[in-house]
Amino acid sequence: MKHLRLMSLAAGMLLSLSALPLSAALAVETGFYDDLRNSKWHDGFVFYYPENHTPKSQTLKFAGGTMHEGGYEATLTGLNVRNGKVTGGTVAKTEWSPEKKASLVITDDNGMKYSMLYIRDLKGKTINILNPLSDTANTSRLIDVNNVYLSLRGRYLDDEGNRYVFTLGDPDNDYRELPDSSSLAGNRKEACILITPEEIIPLTFEEEFEFTAPVFKLNGIYVEARPTADGLEIHYIPGIDDKENPEGTPKEGIYKKLSPVLEMPRFAFTEEVILNMGLLGHFDYRTLRLMRNEIMARHGYAPFKSQDLRDYFESKPWYNPASDKIQLTPVEKINVDLIRLAEERRKDQEAEDAGK
């Protein structure tokens, strides 16, 4: 299935960022992750942990794996040490790529610190951005938030103008809508809800290979939600594992198309959370391009050089074009870099698929 292929693609992308709520990003204190000897990293799919190192060690080795498979590692040499703390080095060994430079960058915004690990090629181009993994992180929940909540989140309209909202609800409070994933405590697989004009539907997502996938039961049949540049497509599917749909249900095709509402930005979560390559793997090239440029459009960036982007954003009532001099937040800057990287990879992948 498509989502499983995307998750396997995400596994081949060294490390990047986890989907952390803004509140969690702000909670990273100065110096907490500025020594690589004590750092942990992940991309929402592969999780890396440091092996034991002495203070004078000349190399750092990180070992890790997915939720059900180990054998991943990365080794840093040529370490940079400042005030007794390792702040960078050269990635000498990975499963997927030649030698790369690694540097730890602490971004300051009004006194708040963001610890990010940037991976650059030998020409200095950023090719990945890593996010720290806290000691209290629930890895299963991080993956679920990645694969389901953020990839579907939003407010949409069907062809008849009926509103559909994919969001989080509190299972212990009549599924009251939650503002963001940081408000979710437990019940990780039962918290995503679909609000329709008639009811609130708690969505129970199916799993394959221990990962929650955007497959759920709607009106008695299993469907799969797929984000596109035009919104969400709800597809018929035969079922999942040994579960089957009722006889007569189409085996393929679109069950329902949903378009984003006009009155608010579709990708507002890019302001609230630090994204990751695993999450961005759910979106095609066109959608990623819109996502990245929406970040700038929300700040009134103008004029867009491409006519299609000008037409797209000028059709949105929330867009107030002002100037080409805008100020992004640290979270938005990181997300712009990440989305641009994901665009490049997705464009290459789509070109390769088209040539087959």
pLDDT, tens digit only, all 356 positions of the chain: 333 232 222 322 222 233 333 333 333 333 445 677 878 887 767 778 888 777 777 788 888 887 778 888 778 887 878 787 777 777 766 654 555 666 555 554 555 556 666 777 767 777 777 777 777 666 666 666 666 777 888 999 999 999 999 987 777 777 777 766 555 544 445 578 898 888 888 888 887 766 678 888 888 899 999 999 999 999 999 877 777 899 999 989 999 999 999 999 999 889 887 788 778 888 999 999 999 999 999 999 999 999 999 999 999 999 999 999 999 988 898 889 889 988 998 998 898 888 87
- For residues 187 and 253, membership in a common domain is answered with yes
Q: Report the number of distinct structural domains present in the chain.
A: 3
203 and 156 inside one domain:
yes
Question: Within a domain: residue 6?
Answer: yes
Instruction: Let me know if residue 223 belongs to a domain.
Output: yes
Same domain, yes or no: 6 and 120: yes
Based on the fold, state whether residues 174 and 222 are members of the same structural domain: yes
Task: Evaluate whether residue 320 is within a structural domain.
Answer: yes
Chain centre distance of CA 182: 15
Q: Say which amino acid occupies 301.
A: Y
- What backbone phi and psi angles, to 5 degrees, belong to 331? -65, -45
Range of the domain at 73: 2-132
Question: Domain for residue 269, yes or no?
Answer: no
Query: Tokens representing 268?
Result: 């507002």
Between CA 212 and CA 12 the distance in angstroms is 19
DSSP β-ladder status, 47-50 and 211-212: unpaired
Boundary residue ending a domain (77, 104, 132): 132
3-class secondary-structure state, position 342:
helix
Flag whether 231 is in a domain.
yes
Same domain, 256 and 147: yes
**pTM for this model (two decimals):** 0.79
